Amino acid sequence: MRFNGIALLASAAVLGACGGEKKPATDTAAANAAAASATTPATMTPAPAAPVAAGSVTAAPATGATHEVKMIGDATGYKFDPANITIKQGDAIKFVMASGGPHNVAFLNVTDAAASAQLDANMAGAKMGPLSSPMLMQPNESYVVSFGKVPAGKYDFTCTPHAAMNMKGQVTVQ
């Protein structure tokens, strides 16, 4: 046992001495190759999806009917009227500040990336953030959202200042 151990150590030392110049070189090359193949996909993966898609989407003007939704805050509470509305792709919704502002319209939980990018592109003006209109302060102020090229589906929206008061609604795009 002892002799074998010593023999192994000795041969390892000899191998280390003999292959000393070549072995670390190949190890380093292999490590670099492994590191490169490991890091390249990881850094590449998130890049193509989001910025390219968002940048390539442009606003699609409405080509159909314009539907009106009032934004109300009075003794009866805070609400969109109508709160649930069904439209066709290419229609528009004109949100009109009726009372009790400031109100805004902010779409929530748009999980489809293409739908989110198109809807956001269609929302112009000094937005409060992605998928969120500016604040409408004065009576009869309005904000039009085009649903041009917005895929069929259901889109939840809320008024950010009055979300806790249940001021919300849903657009169904056919």
Residues with catalytic function: 103, 159, 162, 167
Residue nearest Cu ion by beta-carbon distance: 159
Sequence-distant (≥ 6) Cβ neighbours of residue 93 within 8 angstroms = 66, 67, 68, 69, 85, 87, 144, 145, 147, 171
Q: How many residues bind Cu ion (CB under 5 A)?
A: 4
Binders of Cu ion among residues 130 to 169 (CB under 5 A) are 159, 162, 167
CB of 72 to Cu ion, least distance (A): 8
**Identity of the residue, 95 or 155, whose beta carbon is nearer to Cu ion in the bound complex:** 95
Query: Smallest distance from the beta carbon of 87 to Cu ion, in angstroms?
Result: 21
| 62-121: contacts with Cu ion (CB under 5 A) | 103
Q: How far is the CB of 134 from Cu ion (least distance, A)?
A: 13
Instruction: Please say which residue, 149 or 162, places its beta carbon nearer to Cu ion.
Output: 162
Taking the least distance from each CB to Cu ion, the nearer of 13 and 137 is: 137
Nearer to Cu ion, 88 or 94 (CB): 94
- In whole angstroms, the minimum distance from the beta carbon of 152 to Cu ion comes to 27
How many CB atoms within 10 Å of residue 150?
Answer: 26
Name the one residue in this structure whose structure tokens are 């490991």.
38
- Short-list 145, 128, 8, 131, CA closest to 68: 145
| DSSP conformation class of 150 | P
Find the Cα–Cα–Cα–Cα dihedral 75, 136, 165, 160, rounded to 10°. Answer: 180
Angstrom distances, CA of residue 172 to CA of 92, 101, 132, 157? 12, 25, 18, 11
Cβ-proximal residues to 78 (8 Å cutoff; 6+ apart), any chain: 72, 100, 159, 162, 165, 166, 167
Using CB under 5 A as the criterion, which residues of the chain lie in contact with Cu ion when the complex forms? Answer: 103, 159, 162, 167
